[in-house]
Copies of this chain bind each other. A is one copy, B any other.
Amino acid sequence: MIIDGLQCGHFDRNSFESLQKAGVGGVVVTCGFWEGTVESLDSLARWRDLVRENEDVCEIAATAVDVERIGRSGKVGVILGFQNSNLFEGRIRFVELFAELGVRVVQLTYNNQNELGGSCYEAEDSGLARFGKEVVREMNKAGILVDCSHVGDRTTLDAIEASQKPIAVTHANARSLFDHKRNKSDAVLKALRESGGVIGCAAYRNITGDEFCKSIEAWCGMVARTVEIAGIDSVAIGTDRSHNFTAPDYAWMRQGRWTRGIDYGAGSAARPGKAPPPDWFQTVEDMRVIPNGLRTVGFSEEEVAKITHGNWLRLYEATFKPREENKK
């Protein structure tokens, strides 16, 4: 079974069927990039409808036990996540409400600095701000996993320090392996290792680089080198795969409403739009080659299990809001 730490885009029935064929039993979906409270509630409500309409192939997963049960049954466990904390609109008390509505993963900030902390694309990273400290602690209590994928290194280190539970970098790579602002320093990876956190290795060409996109062996080789830095218990998969993504989606993801200008996000003027997927990852179904690829580069069965799903399950068990009936 594979758990994917992050995917995005417009999921449809075909998305879930493709994930099933790929052996993906759990996936964190992106319910929002820039959306505020009401827009985020609307997104959650639409996700409920979508999952209900496709209940024979997917189910919303609220706990690690859910993910394992749903995935083992051959369906796709949908874990509700946000790539920004705009859903809270600055209100500390909203963290608990969104957790109760099923949200399990929230990124502190997306491509821009916000009231919580700094982003990887800003000129400077202030570190975790006052509201960020409050939100991290509140997410710990409410049962939401802290995600720092697009967050600046300094704020990420602060979040690891401030959090009473391990945190995630759901989708990024090691910067020492591919130099990109979106990737993480070895210092961050070592702090994840020491704190029980997890990084999901990305298979998005802009932040993975052509070399590691050439073949499944090349990509799994990158995973192996990431394990050398972060340790076998802190490395997992977070492909950053998008579904049915078109030009307006890239414009929303990158420019949102914060600029009238052009912003390339993880891309560049030379590659402004959709980056070609890795050579080995032309369709979502291609994810099925990952476990064998990991074996090919020398991982044992136990290690393959940790990377493909075990590490995420352990982290989810440690951080996700438990079901009410299991609480006392």
B115 close to A259 (CB less than 8 A): no
Min C-beta distance of A206 to chain B, whole Å: 18
Task: Give Cα A121 to B257, complex, Å.
Answer: 27
Known A121-B130, A126-B122; judge A115-B258 contact (CB<8 A): yes
B112 close to A131 (CB less than 8 A): yes
Kindly state whether residue A113 has any CB partner on chain B within 8 Å.
yes
Cross-interface CB contact of A93 among B122, B125, B260, cutoff 8 Å: B260
Instruction: Specify the main secondary structure of chain A where it touches its partner.
Output: loop
Chain A interfacial residues counted at CB < 8 A: 31
> Which one of A34, A86, A113 has the greatest number of beta carbons of chain B within 10 Å?
A113
Task: Give Cα A115 to B108, complex, Å.
Answer: 12
B129 close to A113 (CB less than 8 A): yes
Min C-beta distance of A130 to chain B, whole Å: 5
A247 proximity list for chain B (CB < 8 A): none
A131 proximity list for chain B (CB < 8 A): 112-113, 258-259
Cross-interface CB contact of A115 among B112, B130, B260, cutoff 8 Å: B112
Known A122-B126, A130-B121; judge A258-B113 contact (CB<8 A): no
B130 close to A90 (CB less than 8 A): no
Kindly state whether residue A279 has any CB partner on chain B within 8 Å.
no
Cross-interface CB contact of A257 among B93, B125, B257, cutoff 8 Å: B93
A258 close to B92 (CB less than 8 A): yes
Min C-beta distance of A25 to chain B, whole Å: 35
A36 proximity list for chain B (CB < 8 A): 36, 89-90
> Which one of A90, A134, A256 has the greatest number of beta carbons of chain B within 10 Å?
A90
Residues of A in contact with B (beta carbons under 8 Å apart): 34, 36, 86, 89-93, 112-115, 117-118, 121-127, 129-131, 134, 256-261
A sample of 5 inter-chain contacts (CB < 8 A) reads A86-B90, A112-B131, A113-B131, A115-B258, A121-B130
